[in-house]
Amino acid sequence: MWLRFVNAMGDLGSLESSLIEGGSAAEFLDSLETTEMSKSLKMLVLLAMIDAERFPGEIGIDELAAGVRKIARRTSTLQRDLSVSLDDDVALRTYLERNPIDAWCGGKGTGGRPFFGYESQRFSTTFKVAPEQRIALTALVRELAEWRLAEYLDRTPAVRAEAGAERDGRSAGTLEIGRSYMREEIPPLFGLPFSRYWQQGYVSQAGRIFLFVTLDKSGMPEEHRYGDRFLARDLFEWKSQNQHDRASKAGQAIKANEAPIHLFVRKRRKVGPGAASFIYCGELRFESWDGDNPITVRWRLKQPLSERVAQLFEVA
């Protein structure tokens, strides 16, 4: 199991580690890594529940359907999986009840263990965790669900080609602070094509700057282990690439603060064999800097991290 391997390597926090050592939450996480997926539906309802901050807990079918609709609009592949019009509220609710909800509640693909229940039009988890473990559990489940969904979408060449065409042609959208995004999903939200250039930690495109930060640098080459960290919920310290100094074009662009600067952060590089998603932390403004090659920059977040995200990134 991926999470058990990560834990054995010492890369999980104490709360995360306690969740996989035993009990219902550990059994659910194990099942989530292995449950069969002929369609995306199980992950769609799970991610919709998480997006609504109802996991673990319960959510009404109308709110769940609205969340599924929002996620499914990302690609036509997800829309086809639902087999009904996303604009037909009754058909969408009925379809969710008949398929992913029934499968989750019946223990299909989870060894017959029902980790969810459905009663009076409310979908709910059948297990509980201590209050201090909720955010850690939600983060682990989101990582696994997004990995399983990405793995599903990447399963065949036809799906990959379609997803690439959709990304290149999608119009600009709106980012949501606190929401997770795969790296390749981000450029199309600004009307930009995804390319290998976006695999860097510092991307300057179309009058904007994008920072992609992985907090846990273990496994990276020594020269790429930049000391990036949150100093507070509204203050982030970031190190530029080694070739940048304050007099350089990139350095002056950072200090000028003329281009919108967007921060995307994740704890780890990978979930399973795939890349982990990034949480959008909002726009930054220049606060101070020192040093060269690399530059150490302190940024002020325009909107402080939410309690959920702050706890996930272990920010005091």
Largest CA distance in the chain: 64
Question: What distance in Å separates the CA atoms of residue 89 and residue 257, rounded to the nearest whole number?
Answer: 45
Contact 146, 37 (CB under 8 A): no
Facing residues of 212 across strands? 264
Pick the range with the lowest mean pLDDT from 105-109, 217-221, 225-229, 277-281. Answer: 217-221
pLDDT band with cut points at 50, 70 and 90 for residue 158: very low
**CA angle, residues 178, 181, 186, in degrees to nearest 5:** 115
- Top-ranked range on mean pLDDT: pick from 23-32, 154-163, 255-264, 306-315: 23-32
Q: What is the pLDDT of residue 52?
A: 92
Question: What distance in Å separates the CA atoms of residue 221 and residue 10, rounded to the nearest whole number?
Answer: 18
The pLDDT of 84-100, averaged and rounded, is 93
pLDDT digits (tens, 9 = 90+) for 103-116: 999 999 888 999 99
Q: For residue 66, is pLDDT > 70?
A: yes
pLDDT band with cut points at 50, 70 and 90 for residue 161: very low
Q: What is the pLDDT of residue 222?
A: 54
Q: For residue 175, is pLDDT > 70?
A: yes
Q: For residue 182, is pLDDT > 70?
A: yes
pLDDT digits (tens, 9 = 90+) for 263-278: 999 988 887 767 888 9
Contact 153, 77 (CB under 8 A): yes
Q: At what angle do helices 134-153 and 24-34 cross, to 10 degrees?
A: 10
Q: For residue 219, is pLDDT > 60?
A: no
Residue partners of 54: CB distance under 8 A and separation at least 6: 63
- Report percent pLDDT > 90 for the chain: 40
Facing residues of 261 across strands? 209, 284
What residue type is assigned to position 39 of the chain?
Answer: K
Q: For residue 102, is pLDDT > 60?
A: yes
pLDDT band with cut points at 50, 70 and 90 for residue 220: low
Q: What is the pLDDT of residue 114?
A: 93
Question: What distance in Å separates the CA atoms of residue 215 and residue 217, rounded to the nearest whole number?
Answer: 6
Question: What distance in Å separates the CA atoms of residue 272 and residue 160, rounded to the nearest whole number?
Answer: 19
Facing residues of 301 across strands? 284
pLDDT band with cut points at 50, 70 and 90 for residue 223: low
Q: What is the pLDDT of residue 155?
A: 64
Contact 296, 242 (CB under 8 A): no
For the chain, domains (ranges, CATH) are 2-153 (no CATH), 173-312 (2.30.280.10)
Residue partners of 129: CB distance under 8 A and separation at least 6: 19, 25, 56, 137
Q: How far, in Å, are 75, 89, 126 from residue 63 at the CA level?
A: 21, 11, 19
Strands 261-266 and 208-214: parallel
Question: What distance in Å separates the CA atoms of residue 261 and residue 238, rounded to the nearest whole number?
Answer: 13
Q: Which residue would you say has higher pLDDT here, 142 or 243? A: 142
Q: For residue 307, is pLDDT > 90?
A: no
Q: What is the mean pLDDT of the chain?
A: 85
- Report percent pLDDT > 70 for the chain: 88
pLDDT band with cut points at 50, 70 and 90 for residue 19: confident
Name the residue among 243, 163, 260 with its Cα closest to residue 205.
260
The pLDDT of 186-210, averaged and rounded, is 88
